[in-house]
């Protein structure tokens, strides 16, 4: 299995061109690597994605079969954080960050940072004109960076 795939994208001159896309690279990392996002914005988006994942907000395709941990035993739970408290804290941070972004900005923020949608796909899904997404995403990430207190 290859880590790269060829895709057609719109170039700066408006014409379609073929590019190689690394499948393991997030849309935020792609934008950062090409100078479209500052380090501050990238870190804010990555913190949001991490909280989204820790909170367990992504869709599940299978049932969880892991049993509840037993008290004590060979691998006792003393000293480890309760997963539910960790999830609740992450959910509170995620909700706070999305609220800080605002209702008009949260849509593209979630699609690109959390769901891993490319900018062009997110613009199309939201019915936005081409190239509007980068500006709106940058505004959302600026607000989220302030909320997370990213320097």
Domain-wise residue ranges, the chain: 26-57+83-151
pLDDT digits (tens, 9 = 90+) for 9-64: 555 556 666 666 565 678 999 999 889 999 999 999 999 999 998 888 876 566 65
- Residue 72 pLDDT greater than 80, yes or no: no
Q: How far is CA 149 from CA 31, 40, 73, in A?
A: 21, 10, 41
Band (pLDDT 50/70/90 cuts) for residue 1 is very low
- CA-only gyration radius of the chain, Å: 19
Residue 56, SS3 per DSSP? coil
What pLDDT score does 24 carry?
60
Structure-token pair, residue 9: 């994208």
């Amino acid at each position: 299995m290859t880590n790269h795939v060829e895709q057609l994208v719109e170039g700066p001159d408006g014409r379609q061109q073929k590019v190689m896309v690394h499948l393991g690279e997030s849309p935020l990392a792609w934008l950062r690597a090409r100078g479209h996002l500052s380090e501050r914005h990238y870190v804010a988006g990555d913190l949001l994605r991490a909280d989204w994942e820790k909170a367990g907000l992504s869709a599940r395709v299978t049932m969880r079969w892991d049993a509840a941990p037993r008290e004590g035993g060979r691998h006792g739970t003393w000293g480890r954080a309760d997963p539910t408290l960790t999830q609740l804290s992450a959910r509170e941070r995620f909700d706070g960050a999305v609220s800080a972004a605002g209702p008009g900005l949260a849509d593209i923020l979630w699609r690109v940072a959390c769901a891993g949608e490319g900018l062009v796909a997110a613009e199309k899904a939201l019915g936005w004109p081409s190239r509007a997404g980068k500006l709106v995403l940058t505004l959302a990430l600026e607000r989220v960076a302030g909320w997370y207190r990213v320097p």
